[in-house]
Amino acid sequence: MRSHDFKTLCKQPSQTALACSALKKAKPVISNVPAQDKPVSDERSNPLRQAVTIAICSRNRAAALQATLASLQHVAIPTDYDVELVLVDNGSTDGTHEIMQRFRFPGATVKVVREDRTGLSHARNRAVLESAGKVLLFSDDDIRFPIDWIKQMASPIFSDNADAVAGGVKLAQSLERPWATELHRSWLASTESIDRSSPERLVGANMAIRRRILEKLGGFDVMLGAGALGFAEETLLAQQIIALGGTIAPAWAVCVEHHPDLSRLQRDSYLEAAVKMGQSEGYIDHHWYHLPCSWLRGYLKLSAIYFKLWRFQLKNRQACRHQEGSPAKELILRRDLASWRFRMSERGSPLRYAKSGETTPMGHVP
């Protein structure tokens, strides 16, 4: 993949950037919680300040969020950092918003924002828009943090050794299962399958990104992620960062613990994830990589995958009836089936990115 000069790539703003620009004109729903320390400095007014924004988004997951925020309170705030926490309520109808408003993070500024457009990418883009930090540190609403999380994730960017940092994610021990393979765990956000030395993928549960990079890219593609196609918004973003000539540094030792809901282990949940994973990968294959998909090739591929899936399920009836989990091969076949079906459905549709390896979109990203 080619690297490109920042200025050349950014002459034309991305559609997501235009959407963010439109958001600035709208009146945001924001609740500022008084800081227990000095506020975060906007990097545009004080470019030397080591300012970090932590962004956590949630929708109707009040109990999980409360446990996550309780863990965050034990994280050390570096004495030479200004830290801001942006909590985005993505249209919740339970007690999520109230939990956010009550939360205090000693030594940091807390800002609560409501983003009613459903989708994790919409919520994260709003977090970026409302933030002031030079470094954006993202996590999820079902995470437990190590005490040195902020310093270890942000320092490679502040020292100009990276433009993004891929942190480690491991599954909570209570959710480990004998049948779980690397694939099963990676679909629950485990980072064990990512290249140890040169990561080309980020996981939203634990990643840090230079603000300037996010602004150049226009944020996360709102067609991807939870609430949209389902996955891979950070995967595409990582590819865009690399296309810009940016560097993603590994920080696997800075590992958070993921506590997804127990229902995520159910067979039905894995089958649903396979479809969403396939659709998300199909979107990237079509719109980012511009992989060809003729009618004949697509038909032959779909037929072959359908046959392999039918044969596998016939030979493994018992394994395909367990309440928890699903055979890895079955998940891969269902993922590939969904990917090719999505690519077939997108044939002839306007491409959203100019060409593979570039960041200028062509179509409208709502």
pLDDT in tens, 220-254: 999 999 999 999 999 999 999 999 999 999 999 99
Phi (first) and psi of residue 57, to 5 degrees: -115, 145
Q: Closest by alpha carbon to 89, among 62, 69, 52?
A: 62
Span 145-151, average pLDDT: 98
pLDDT above 60 (res 183): yes
pLDDT above 90 (res 360): no
pLDDT above 60 (res 29): no
Here the tokens at position 169 are 């994610």
155 C-beta neighbours (distance < 10 Å), count = 21
Quickly state the pLDDT bin for 361 (edges 50, 70, 90): very low
* Contact between residue 168 and residue 255 where contact means Cβ atoms under 8 Å apart: yes
Q: What is the pLDDT of residues 82-93, one digit of tens each?
A: 999 999 999 999
* Contact between residue 81 and residue 50 where contact means Cβ atoms under 8 Å apart: yes
Distance between CA 159 and CA 170 in Å, rounded? 26
Rg (CA), the chain: 21
Look at residue 322 in the predicted model and tell me its pLDDT: 94
For the chain, give the mean pLDDT.
Answer: 87
Q: What is the pLDDT of residues 286-337, one digit of tens each?
A: 999 999 999 999 999 999 999 999 999 999 999 999 999 999 999 999 999 9
Look at residue 156 in the predicted model and tell me its pLDDT: 97
* Contact between residue 213 and residue 241 where contact means Cβ atoms under 8 Å apart: yes
Here the tokens at position 89 are 């309520």
Look at residue 336 in the predicted model and tell me its pLDDT: 98
What domains are defined for the chain?
A: 6-263 (3.90.550.10), 267-345 (no CATH)
Quickly state the pLDDT bin for 49 (edges 50, 70, 90): low
Here the tokens at position 81 are 């950092």
34 C-beta neighbours (distance < 10 Å), count = 8
225: CB partners within 8 A, 6+ apart = 119, 120, 121, 124, 204, 231, 232, 233, 234
* Contact between residue 190 and residue 173 where contact means Cβ atoms under 8 Å apart: no
Quickly state the pLDDT bin for 45 (edges 50, 70, 90): very low
Q: What is the pLDDT of residues 281-295, one digit of tens each?
A: 999 999 999 999 999
For β-strands 29-33 and 109-114, DSSP reports them as: antiparallel
Cα angle at 301 between 299 and 306, to 5 degrees? Answer: 95
Q: Closest by alpha carbon to 208, among 167, 253, 260?
A: 167
Percent of the chain with pLDDT over 70: 83
Percent of the chain with pLDDT over 90: 82
